[in-house]
Amino acid sequence: MLLKGRKILVGISGGIAAYKVYDLVRTLVKEGASVRTVLTPSALDFVSPLVLATLTGSKPFYRWDEESPLAHVELAKWADAFLVAPATVNTISKLALGLADNPLTAAWSAFAGPKLVAPAANTVMLQNPAVRNHLETLRRWGVEVIPPDRGLLACGDEGEGKLADVDLIRDHLVRALSPKPLKGKKVLVTLGATREYLDPVRFISNGSSGKMGLALAKAVFYLGGEPLVVAADAKVSVPERFLVRRVETAGEMLEACLELFDGVDAVLMNAAVSDYRFSKRFDKKLKKSQKRLTVELEPTPDVLAELGKRKKRQKLVGFAVESENLEENALKKLKKKNLDAIVVNPVSVMGSDRYEGTIIFADGRKKELKAPSKEEAAYEIVSTLLGS
């Protein structure tokens, strides 16, 4: 729960996408964040102050009165981050021009911490040169502009302009509130389970879900870096903003990693790559025409070892799942493959949401890890291994 204890001020402007703020607020509160809300006058046409007060446990600020003449300043001092979602064209323009003519824009002017806007509007409106210029102005000032989604808009048009998904907005908040030791760095992250085919429909693989690999990619993003994801088969959805290549086999994984290797600063090799493949692959589906089928296996390319041979300035981190002699086996792999560190886990973590493991460094140091979620574990792993 990376937002636990953080104080987040959510600004709501008057657009149809404002109804999604209820889910956003609930998500943030569930993570342990304290949330308060500030509204433009027109937002009252779309959301209820009573509902917001119930969800957040705090009275929304939407008009000045005798009880709160300085509420905009008090809220600005209270908050760790200020998010405007949805940000309408009108509100975006006011923020970029420095106007402070309503509770939301006044609080924004008084706030000095991390600021984020999540635009939501008709596609043509967002493409208007004045609006694009206003968004660029906000970016230059250090405001995080969360890209809107594409899809069916309230007006019936198809295009870019939908309020970003709640989970994406939440991820940007985590990033805004995290240190940025990886700023300007590119990190290759592999995830999922490779497949080695016997025929067009049958293959050998393993039970890796890809959850940890995705958590590592997100941790790189949170800490200011650019994750480049090479994904094999996974049970999680990899955001398009991270994904650079989908692969199936170990050979394809090696090819993709070698193409990207020279351009990255670090590699987190979390994919569960099959150790063996069929010596012979059949072009057509095999029929069940005999009682016994004998097949021969051969080793697959060792992706991590090949990267270790080519390593120059990059940090190379391996991951291992072991059923016995965890640290002993992991240390052998670290030395054999020329790694900077290896993270070893028991088999029980595969497919699980909880996490336990050990980081072993090339100099022999160790760090034990236990976390209630893979996201929290990944954040600690990336901070520890790449954050210095």
pLDDT digits (tens, 9 = 90+) for 6-55: 999 999 999 999 999 999 999 999 999 999 999 999 999 999 999 999 99
pTM above 0.85, yes or no: yes
Q: What tokens does 328 get?
A: 């002993």
Q: How would residue 190 be classed by pLDDT, with cut points 50, 70 and 90?
A: very high
Q: Residue 217's closest CA among 191, 240, 189?
A: 189
Catalytic residues: 155
> Is it true that 7-176 and 186-386 share their CATH fold?
yes
Q: What is the mean pLDDT of the chain?
A: 92
Rounded to 5 degrees, what angle do the CA atoms 141, 125, 238 make? Answer: 70
Q: Which pLDDT does position 292 carry in this prediction?
A: 83
CATH class (in words) of the domain with range 186-386 = alpha beta
Q: What tokens does 287 get?
A: 């029929």
CB-based contacts of 364: which residues, under 8 Å, 6+ apart? none
Report domain extents, the chain. 7-176, 186-386
pLDDT of 303 over the 70 cut: yes
CA atoms within 13 A on the CB side of 214: 20
Q: What does the alpha-carbon distance between residue 254 and residue 341 come to, in Å, rounded to a whole number?
A: 20
The CATH T-level fold of domain 7-176 is: Rossmann fold (3.40.50)
Residues paired with residue 117 on neighbouring β-strands, in sequence order: 84, 145
Q: What does the alpha-carbon distance between residue 382 and residue 367 come to, in Å, rounded to a whole number?
A: 13
pLDDT of 155 over the 70 cut: no
